[in-house]
Amino acid sequence: MANGPGEAVPDGLIEAFWRYDDALLSNDQGTLSALFAPGPHTLRGDGANLLTGHDAITAFRSGRTRIPTRLVESVHARILGEDVALLMARTRDDSAVGLQTQLWQRIDGRWLIVAAHVSLPAASDPFDRSVWRVVGDPLVEATSPGPLNGLRVAVKDLYAVAGQRIGAGVPAWLAEQSVVDTTALAVAALLGAGAEIVGIARTDEFAYSLAGTNVHYGSPPNPAVPGGISGGSSSGPASAVALGQAEIGLGTDPAGSIRVPASYQGLVGIRTTHDAISRDGLLPLAPSFDTVGWLTRDVATSAAVARVLLPDSLLRPHRTMRVPMIEALARADLKLGKTVERLAAADALPPVEHLELAADLLEQWFTAFRTVQGWQAWQAHGAWLSAHPGSLGSDIAGRFAIAARITEAEMTAATEVVAQAREQLTAWLQDTVLVIPSAAGPALSRNATADQVDTERSSTLHMTCLAALCGAPAVSLPVLRSAGNPVGLCLISAPGTDRGLLELAQTVQSAC
């Protein structure tokens, strides 16, 4: 230990430092917590976050796995008095170095950390494998200049990109794929408008999840909610955009796969009208619901993409629009009521009205949606999955197993309910924009149990299935919060009104 001029290291400090370091390596959370000073003024920061208060630090730590083993190479001390010292410890593992700065104070005879700043060893991967599969500078150049000049696209690993394979979030699938010759139409259109592809970004396995917790490649980071899941299935494109590594995350949204990660990460996400944009070159999950969409950091960029991918004819002004509320879905702590009040007070917006949607009817629709989606998903992937047992994580494998057992009779009955739902929703959307939360709540912790994730998925699907049921466009706006974390507000309008919906979204965001 190197200390400053004429400074003797006070008794017990070195011992406390090493006790803390041992606890770090063994992830002994009790000891770690005990060695941080109690109270709301204790600080702990790294490159990504600064946490204030003992409780926040303990909560952060509980959501973390053991840190990689590394050596403390040297410790430097600045002794600031009998009871105060700053320690800076240089750490090293196989591939990288790190730095830990700790301000220690002796409080009631015990040495405690009152402030800490950590730089973890740099990853030894050249890029974040949980976000990307392949990246380049760029990976694919724009084919002509255009309105999207300079914008970088993260392409969900479900779209065909010439020279690449489609990985679909499943290593065993990827291993059998050939490089494709032709780029998906939606991707080609972006390249033709000046955008470039920065990389192929991760997806949940076959896009059949809303969590983003791919068992093979890990859960991409959610910079808006440290320790939170990314949301999925367009998990990689969402995180890439949230991290500033792409401006456009091109995804798909059969039942929330864009709106949910947008909601969890504070992004703007749009699912477009079903069949409005060609799905040519897109690996299907459930073709009746699969649709192209994208995530951006702001509405303006989302609208710029819409102008490229959606024909002019789809731009219809919502002259007689109302903004109703689906009471059954509102969560108290989202303060939806307050938001609606603000929307109602905005001159530029149409009047706000409530809309009754009976809980049992919604339940019936949701069940029918899930049945038809499951049936189609099994049609799309059942043969391959049967030939490749064990290639999926247990959550998504379980979902496919249920899908495999859906009978033709169940599917036929569900299809009828879906048709009824479509009729009712389409009627409402003639002169109405539906306003609901984009997800049941904010991003769960990465340590949530499988049951918690499944329950949250089911609640969220009750909301996200509405746009899917009638093939309507839906935009998620980052304007709600729950427990300090972002939740999206979802606007749903009539099929074919995508560009008008994005104009409205801009006004709604300004009013919130």
Does the protein bind its own copies through residue 286 (CB under 8 A)?
no
Q: Are 247 and 151 in contact (CB under 8 A)?
A: yes
Q: Which residue has the tokens 């599969």?
A: 133
Q: Which residues inside 93-152 make contact with its own copies, applying CB under 8 A?
A: 94-99, 101, 103, 105, 114-115, 117, 119-122, 124-129, 131-137, 139, 141
Please give the structure tokens belonging to residue 13.
Answer: 């400090």
Of the candidates 113, 5, 453, 464, which has an alpha carbon nearest to the alpha carbon of residue 254? 464
**Binding range to its own copies, per CB under 8 A, among 38-46, 253-261, 331-339, 424-432:** 38-46
Q: 102 vs 376, which CB is nearer to its own copies?
A: 102
Rounded to a whole number of angstroms, the minimum distance from the CB of residue 395 to its own copies is 22
Reduce the DSSP state of residue 176 to 3 states and report it: helix
In the complex, what is the shortest distance from the CB of residue 389 to its own copies, in angstroms, rounded to a whole number?
23
Residues 374-413 as x/- pattern, contact with its own copies by CB under 8 A: ----------------------------------------
Nearer to its own copies, 3 or 455 (CB): 3
Least CB distance to its own copies at residue 97 (A):
6
59 vs 243, beta carbon nearer its own copies: 243
x/- letters, 215..244, toward its own copies (CB under 8 A): --x----------------------x--xx
Segment interacting with its own copies, rule: CB under 8 A, options 80-88, 249-257, 448-456, 495-503: 80-88
Instruction: State the Cα–Cα distance between residues 196 and 364, nearest whole angstrom.
Output: 43
Nearer Cβ to its own copies (42/497): 42
Question: Hey, which residues between 188 and 217 contact its own copies (CB under 8 A)?
Answer: 198-199, 217
User: Per-residue DSSP letters for 469-498?
Assistant: HTT--EEEEEEEEETTEEEEEEEE--TT-H
Shortest distance in whole angstroms from residue 153 CB to its own copies: 12
Left, alpha or beta for 500 (phi > 0: left; psi -120 to 50: alpha)? alpha
CB of 128 to its own copies, least distance (A): 7
Q: Closer to its own copies by CB, 135 or 380: give it.
A: 135
Beta strands in 432-473 (DSSP E): 434-437
Q: How far is the CB of 164 from its own copies (least distance, A)?
A: 8
79 is written with which tokens? 């002794």
Distance CA 356, CA 314 (A): 28
Rule CB under 8 A: is residue 314 a binding residue for its own copies? Answer: no
**Which residue has 């879906």 as its token pair?**
418
How many positions of this chain bind its own copies (CB under 8 A)?
A: 65
Q: Which is nearer to its own copies, 246 or 443 (CB)?
A: 246
148 or 418, CB closer to its own copies?
Answer: 148
Q: What's the first-to-final CA gap in the chain, in angstroms? A: 54
**What is the pattern of x (binds its own copies, CB under 8 A) and - over residues 245-274?**
xx----------------------------
Edge to edge, the sheet with strand 292-296 lists 196-201, 152-156, 248-252, 292-296, 268-271, 474-482, 485-492, 434-437
* Beta carbons of 11 and 82 less than 8 angstroms apart: no
3-state secondary structure of 346: coil
Q: Tell me the β-bridge partners of 113.
A: 36, 104
The candidate with the shortest Cα–Cα distance to 500, out of 325, 273, 268, 247, is: 273
Count of C-beta atoms within a 10 Å radius of residue 311:
12
CB-nearer residue toward its own copies: 131 or 286? 131
Residue 47 CA, distance from chain mean position: 20
Q: Which residues pair with 116 in a beta bridge?
A: 44, 102
Given the rule CB under 8 A, which of 72-80, 260-268, 469-477, 501-509 is the region that contacts its own copies? Answer: 72-80
Burial class, 23, CB count within 10 angstroms (exposed 0-12 / middle 13-18 / buried 19+): middle
Nearer to its own copies, 41 or 64 (CB): 41
Residues in touch with its own copies (CB under 8 A): 2-5, 39, 41, 43, 45-50, 52, 74, 76, 78, 80-81, 84, 86, 88, 90, 94-99, 101, 103, 105, 114-115, 117, 119-122, 124-129, 131-137, 139, 141, 163, 175, 179, 198-199, 217, 240, 243-246
